Amino acid sequence: MKRITVSLNLLQEKIAEIEKDGMDLVELRIVKGEVDKNTISASFLHFEGISKCGAYKDYESIDESSIIGMFL
Protein backbone atom coordinates (compact mmCIF):
# COMPACT_ATOMS: atom_id res chain seq x y z
CA MET A 1 0.00 0.00 0.00
CA LYS A 2 1.22 3.50 -0.79
CA ARG A 3 1.79 6.11 1.92
CA ILE A 4 1.40 9.88 1.97
CA THR A 5 2.24 12.50 4.60
CA VAL A 6 -0.19 15.41 4.99
CA SER A 7 -0.66 18.26 7.46
CA LEU A 8 -2.72 17.16 10.47
CA ASN A 9 -4.40 20.60 10.62
CA LEU A 10 -5.47 20.41 6.96
CA LEU A 11 -6.68 16.84 7.44
CA GLN A 12 -8.76 17.81 10.48
CA GLU A 13 -10.28 20.77 8.60
CA LYS A 14 -11.21 18.55 5.66
CA ILE A 15 -12.79 15.89 7.92
CA ALA A 16 -14.73 18.59 9.83
CA GLU A 17 -16.13 19.93 6.54
CA ILE A 18 -17.21 16.45 5.43
CA GLU A 19 -18.77 15.78 8.85
CA LYS A 20 -20.60 19.13 8.82
CA ASP A 21 -22.20 18.21 5.50
CA GLY A 22 -23.57 15.00 7.07
CA MET A 23 -21.61 12.55 4.96
CA ASP A 24 -21.54 8.97 6.25
CA LEU A 25 -18.49 7.67 4.39
CA VAL A 26 -15.38 9.19 2.88
CA GLU A 27 -13.43 7.77 -0.03
CA LEU A 28 -9.71 8.57 0.03
CA ARG A 29 -7.44 8.34 -2.99
CA ILE A 30 -3.70 8.86 -3.08
CA VAL A 31 -2.77 10.46 -6.39
CA LYS A 32 0.89 10.03 -7.23
CA GLY A 33 2.95 13.10 -8.11
CA GLU A 34 4.54 13.39 -11.50
CA VAL A 35 7.21 15.22 -13.44
CA ASP A 36 6.26 16.78 -16.76
CA LYS A 37 9.26 18.34 -18.49
CA ASN A 38 10.41 20.92 -15.90
CA THR A 39 7.22 20.94 -13.81
CA ILE A 40 6.97 18.81 -10.66
CA SER A 41 3.49 18.07 -9.30
CA ALA A 42 3.31 16.85 -5.70
CA SER A 43 1.34 13.78 -4.68
CA PHE A 44 -1.98 14.54 -3.03
CA LEU A 45 -4.78 12.96 -1.01
CA HIS A 46 -8.22 13.34 -2.62
CA PHE A 47 -11.49 13.23 -0.63
CA GLU A 48 -14.98 12.28 -1.75
CA GLY A 49 -17.90 12.19 0.70
CA ILE A 50 -20.69 9.65 0.36
CA SER A 51 -24.11 10.11 1.99
CA LYS A 52 -26.49 7.37 3.21
CA CYS A 53 -28.60 7.79 0.07
CA GLY A 54 -25.53 7.21 -2.11
CA ALA A 55 -24.90 10.81 -3.16
CA TYR A 56 -21.25 11.72 -3.76
CA LYS A 57 -19.64 15.11 -3.10
CA ASP A 58 -16.13 16.13 -4.15
CA TYR A 59 -14.09 17.68 -1.33
CA GLU A 60 -10.99 18.27 -3.42
CA SER A 61 -7.57 17.40 -2.04
CA ILE A 62 -4.64 18.07 0.29
CA ASP A 63 -1.12 18.22 -1.13
CA GLU A 64 1.57 16.02 0.32
CA SER A 65 3.67 17.72 3.02
CA SER A 66 7.41 17.57 3.15
CA ILE A 67 8.53 16.12 6.47
CA ILE A 68 11.87 17.90 6.19
CA GLY A 69 10.13 21.23 5.50
CA MET A 70 8.16 20.97 8.75
CA PHE A 71 11.32 21.05 10.85
CA LEU A 72 13.14 23.93 9.14
Domain parsing of the chain, residue ranges: 8-70
Q: What is the pLDDT of residue 49?
A: 98
Q: What pLDDT is attached to residue 23? A: 98
Assess contact for 32 and 43: CB atoms under 8 A.
Answer: yes
pLDDT of residue 52: 96
Q: Which residues pair with 47 in a beta bridge?
A: 28
> How many angstroms separate the CA atoms of 12 and 9, rounded?
5
- CA–CA separation, 2 and 16 (whole Å): 24
pLDDT in tens, the chain (72 residues): 689 999 999 999 999 999 999 999 999 999 999 888 888 888 999 999 999 999 999 999 999 987 655 555
pLDDT of residue 68: 56
DSSP reduced 3-state for 50: strand
Q: What are phi and psi of 54, to 5 degrees?
A: 90, 5
